[in-house]
Structure 1
Amino acid sequence: MITSPTFVLVPGAGATSFLWNPVVTELALRGHRALPVELPGHGFDTVFPAGYDCPQDTAALASAPSPVAELLLQDYVEHTLAIVRRAAEHGPVVLVGHSMGGSTVTGVANAAPELLAHIVYVCAYCCVELPSVAAYAPRPAADDILSIARKTVWIGDPRKTGTARTNPRDGGVVTIQHELLMAELDPVLAPAVLNYALQPDESMRVMLADASVDRESWPKIPRTYIRTTADRVLPTSVQDRMIAEADALSSGVSFAVHSLEASHFVPLTRPVAVAEILAGLG
């Protein structure tokens, strides 16, 4: 059993540290240290694009260049690595990534595997045979909820804004975002989640960056994957592909896999179950 670990929790695309708050609470009540990471350009560190503030100017928002468009995956990795180094001074570190946060976990594990007691991917991207998050992005049928969301929730031209942009404050998309991201959550809570846990922009540079695992050092780190079997954003077929590709890298260390009947925002919708898995790592 890992002794007195610190859980360092990395959010995904366009997400703030708020996404992890329920899991942090559950871990703390079990006697563990837990730190949700606020990535560069996120949370209090973000600058909103023109047109986003109230009253909103949706035409300006659809075309405004993003203040966070220049952010790189390396910025996320270096920021998180600095946190991991400080946390490691006090004992073992378990690095956990949700969704696109898996690319940051991989980057830290590639750079400093000696600092990590365990890495955990929570319905997260683990790039092995393909190089980037964008390369693994699912390509659903036209009538799939993800395809519909891509047409109605994402706004603007990424070639002009530099980002994947949504408008979490748009009441017209709350229903589809609830179904897509957090279907098992009380819909009354969805607007608060969208306002606190999401911000409009995520840098396309991060999504397109090389996030592949280091084939020498990364496979030696104990690792866990939490599958979300009701996920409409990252289907289990894609999750299972990445798990299989990662396991094929080495015969000595494979993913310990846990499955939860949950949608993509599982840290918010099933925090007790996620915390129990994390607290039970051995």
Structure 2
Amino acid sequence: MTTFLLIPGAGGAGWYWHLVSAELSRRGHEPIAVDLPAADETAGWPEYSEASLAALGDRSEPVVVAQSMGAFTGPLVCARIPARRLVLANPMVPAPGETAGEWWGATGQEQARKEAGFGPLDMPGDFFHDVPQDVTDEAMAGGDQSQSGFSFAQPWPLDAWPDVPTSVIQGVDDRLFPLEFQRRVVRERLGLELHEAPGGHLMALSRPVEFTDVLLGLVTGG
């Protein structure tokens, strides 16, 4: 059995992982989905790390999985504890000292979207285009999941990437971070190649079985 610490992206809702959690449990693993204080204008990366570690408790050597903006938190957790692996899913890969607000311009995300044929950002369409309607309805019924301005303005505090095996899973239909854009960013910032998975930006909601297959393949060396 492996413990998976599942860190969400912007909005901070551990609910994002509920379908993957069910799939991991079905296969004999222990998922722990973290709720982050995302709307708290006094909470930043240290508080997000503490929330993640509190959820983990005394469990040892987890696989840390971080989605999108959660990639700012996942490495901080791995810098604090021994982790078996860090897996980033459709991530915003941070650079030392960079804020989440600066990340978009520094990586050229907007131009990459244009080159991929996407127009102005359409939140429901770009995020939920491949998520089943019943799951989308449940997400929308969850109420406000805003992300604090403070978190976008706080520099990422690490001087270097933590010494932990790291993998990146990228949804091939991600409209927010197109595939070739992510391939370039991950190579430049981590020196890694992507592991592709079906689905868009919220692939843990749209393709949870396939995402879990890829995730467990990385952990087991498959």
Q: TM-score, structure 1 length as denominator?
A: 0.67
What is the deviation of 1:212?
6.1
What is the deviation of 1:262?
1.4
Match of 1:39 among 36, 40, 51: 36
- Does 1:191 find its partner at 2:137? yes
1:161-197 deviations in Å (ceiling 9; x for gaps): xxxxxxxxxxxxxxx60x211212233542222223x
- Does 1:203 find its partner at 2:175? no
Distance 1:38 1:30 in 2: 23
Distance 2:136 2:55 in 1: 30
Match of 1:242 in 2: 185
Distance 1:41 1:265 in 2: 18
Match of 1:119 in 2: 86
What SS does structure 2 have at the residue aligned with 1:202?
coil
What is the deviation of 1:82?
3.3
Q: CA RMSD in A?
A: 2.4
> Is the 1:128–1:245 Cα contact (8 Å) retained in structure 2?
no
Q: Taking structure 1 as reference, are residues 188 and 94 closer, same or farther at Cα in structure 2, changes over 3 Å only?
A: closer
Distance 1:109 1:206 in 2: 19
- Does 1:224 find its partner at 2:167? yes
Q: Taking structure 1 as reference, are residues 246 and 85 closer, same or farther at Cα in structure 2, changes over 3 Å only?
A: farther
What is the deviation of 1:128?
2.6
What is the deviation of 1:211?
2.3
What SS does structure 1 have at the residue aligned with 2:156?
coil
Distance 2:176 2:24 in 1: 26
Distance 2:57 2:135 in 1: 36
Match of 1:53 in 2: none
- Does 1:131 find its partner at 2:74? no
Where do 5+ consecutive residues of structure 2 fail to align?
A: none
- Does 1:260 find its partner at 2:197? yes
- Does 1:104 find its partner at 2:70? no
- How high is the sequence identity, in percent, across the aligned residues? 22
Distance 1:124 1:100 in 2: 6
Q: Taking structure 1 as reference, are residues 188 and 101 closer, same or farther at Cα in structure 2, changes over 3 Å only?
A: same
1:204-226 deviations in Å (ceiling 9; x for gaps): 221222226542x61x3111100
Paired residues, number: 211
- Does 1:19 find its partner at 2:8? no
> Is the 1:106–1:212 Cα contact (8 Å) retained in structure 2?
no
Distance 1:200 1:117 in 2: 30
Q: TM-score, structure 2 length as denominator?
A: 0.83
Match of 1:58 in 2: none
Where do 5+ consecutive residues of structure 1 fail to align?
A: 43-67, 150-175, 249-254
Match of 1:57 in 2: none
Runs of 4 or more consecutive aligned structure 1 residues displaced over 6 Å after TM superposition: none
Match of 1:81 in 2: 53
What is the deviation of 1:129?
6.6
Q: Taking structure 1 as reference, are residues 239 and 85 closer, same or farther at Cα in structure 2, changes over 3 Å only?
A: farther
What SS does structure 2 have at the residue aligned with 1:86?
coil
What is the deviation of 1:39?
1.1
What is the deviation of 1:83?
3.3
